[in-house]
Structure formats: structure tokens, C-alpha cells
Amino acid sequence: MILSAQTIAGHLGGTVEGNPDAEVSSAARIEYGKPGTLCFLANPKYEKFLYTTRASIILINKGFELKQPVEATLVRVDNAYQAIAAMLDLLNTVKMQNKRGHSWRSKISWKAKLGKNVYVGAFAYIAKGAKIGNNVKIYPQVYIGENVCIGDNTVLYAGAKVYAGCKIGADCIVHSGAVIGADGFGFAPQNDGSYKKIAQTGIVVIEDNVEIGSNTSVDRATMEATIIHSGVKIDNLVQIAHNVEIGENTVIAAQAGIAGSAKTGKRCVVGGQVGIVGHINIADGTQIGAQSGVSKNTVENAAIAGSPAIDYAKNQRNIAAYRTLPQMRDEIQTLKKEIEKLRKKLTE
């Protein structure tokens, strides 16, 4: 897809500074820009590349002041970071629209229902009772179990697995290796020390506009449903246990784990490698720092960090104090020696 600066400006509501007929067909980071690529500048620390890049078109904020001439055509927008996200989405959408048809190497049950313009790649399997919406893209080796429902415009990349009965909404993305609906980790201890598996009879419900990263697992509920509400973005290698509920527009970074029946509110931010214990409530707007261990309910808009997680500012003070512990230990040892000398003098 080839786009001119004028077309890009019109799409973004921006203004062109330079050649309105300059064209691009792909995007690149500003430090690696070359002719025919679209770049952006949002972080000031990359400003030096603005004057050296060979990119054809650069998105910058309207209020940005140039310190020297720029060879590339500029498209000034309200927010360059949001603008590049919109352009990447447009370029990706065009690419995705080229995927059509069903591979003869795929297996689709005659009892499954597929909407219009559905793409099914080689060795994908769609079981009976499945309902697939319009414009869905199912890449090679995807498994879709019995009675699964998938909404319009959703994409399942190669190797994703969706177990029986689970529901995925519209405009979702499920990346390679993700598993939706595997059994929750439920085992009952027996008198002889062994464990008996507890049947996981529920499902997973994923609402609209959700993205699930590669090799992430969302377990089915023991009963009823594990629920991922609309707008949630989950990174790679995340574990969502049975009966968890994730609130709208929450983001979860890589390697986080959320134990069974925990609930997060809306607009939460969960850092990488965070662990959240089961059966607690994370309130709306909570921000959790990376590698934190959360074992208690939180209040709205709290910022917490550490393990166990506490108020973010208090945790930072604790970290600062921790760094001085070796010095404090040396000072205490010195004081102990001085005290011992004084004690000996007093007893002489």
C-alpha cells in the first residue's frame, strides 16, 4: 500500500510541511528510516535522528520547533505517538484484508457456521457447532473446539488454541501459541496424600477489542466463566487462572500471573512478572509495579510496588533505605566497638 503525505495528513487530521506528494509504503524507526518509509518523533531523546534520517515522511507534534532543516516531509499532528499507532493499524489492516479463502489442508466441520470473507489457513481445525463471524482470520494450525463462538474481524494467529465452548468477541487478536480455555489448576487433596482432579466445567468469555499475547494461557472456569472484558490488552507469557475476571481496558505485561478467582477493575496497569494471589479484588485504576506480589485488596487508583506490594512511594523509600544497609551495618559495628571501649574504661 502506497500513501502520500497528503493522504496521511487527511487521515490523521494533520498538516503537511514539505512535499505533499511524498510517498511511503512501510513504517520504520526514525534512526533506521530510508526512502519510502514513514517514521515518527515522539520522544525528544531521538530528536537528533530527525535531522539525519533518510525517511520520506515523518510524523511530529504540531508544537515541535525545528532546530535545523529537515530533508523529509513532515506531517504535523496533535500526538505523534497516537498518530503512528493509527497508521500502523491502517497498514496492517490492508495487509490482513488480503487473506481470503479456505486452505484445502484445513478441516472444517460441516456443522460449523462460518461468516463472510473468512480466511482459514492450512491444517487449521474447526469443530462442529463452532460459529465464526465475518472477516475472521484463522491462521495455519489453529484449533477451534466444539461450540466455540468468534466475533467479526477477529484474528487468530498460527497455533492458537481455543477449547470447546469458549467465546471470543469482535475485533480481537489472539497471538501464536496462546491457549484459551485449558483446564484451571484445581486438585483436591486426598487422605493418602494424592490429589484428585476437580473437573473444570466452565468456559472463557473474551469480550470485544481484546488482544492476547503469544504463549499466554487463559484457563476455563471451574464453574461459570473466566471473563476478560472489552479493551483488555494482555502481553506474552501471561497466566490467567480459572474464574479470574479482568476489568475493561486493563493492560497486563509479560510473565504476570493472576491466581484463581481474583478480580481486577477497569483501567488497571499490571507490570511484568507481577503475581496476584487468588480471591482478592484489584480496584479500578490500580497501577502495579513490575515484580510485585499482591496479596491484599487495593483501593481505587492506588499505585503499589514491592513484594508484598505496598504504596509505591513508601516502597521507593524502603528501596533507598535498603541500599544504605551495608553502610549502616558498618556504622553500627563501629559504634558497638566504641561502646565496648567506654564500658571497659568505666569498669577499670
Rg for the chain (alpha carbons), in Å?
27
Backbone conformation region of residue 23, classed left if phi is above 0, alpha if psi is from -120 to 50, else beta: beta
Tell me if residue 175 is catalytic: no
Residue 24 near residue 34 (C-beta atoms within 8 A): no
DSSP symbols for 171-236: T-EE-TT-EEEEPP--EEE-TTS-EEEPP---EEEE-SS-EE-TT-EEEPPSSSEEEE-TT-EE-S
- CA 154 and chain centroid, separation: 16
Task: Give the SS3 label for residue 267.
Answer: coil
Q: Which residue has the cell 503499589?
A: 304
Q: Is the bond preceding residue 326 a cis peptide, omega within 30 degrees?
A: no
Phi first, then psi, for residue 239 (nearest 5°) are -110, 120
Q: How far apart are the first and last CA of the chain?
A: 94
Task: Give the SS3 label for residue 265.
Answer: coil
Q: Which residue has the cell 460441516?
A: 110
102, 175, 229, 242: the active-site residue: 242
Residue 313 near residue 304 (C-beta atoms within 8 A): no
Residues carrying an active site annotation: 242
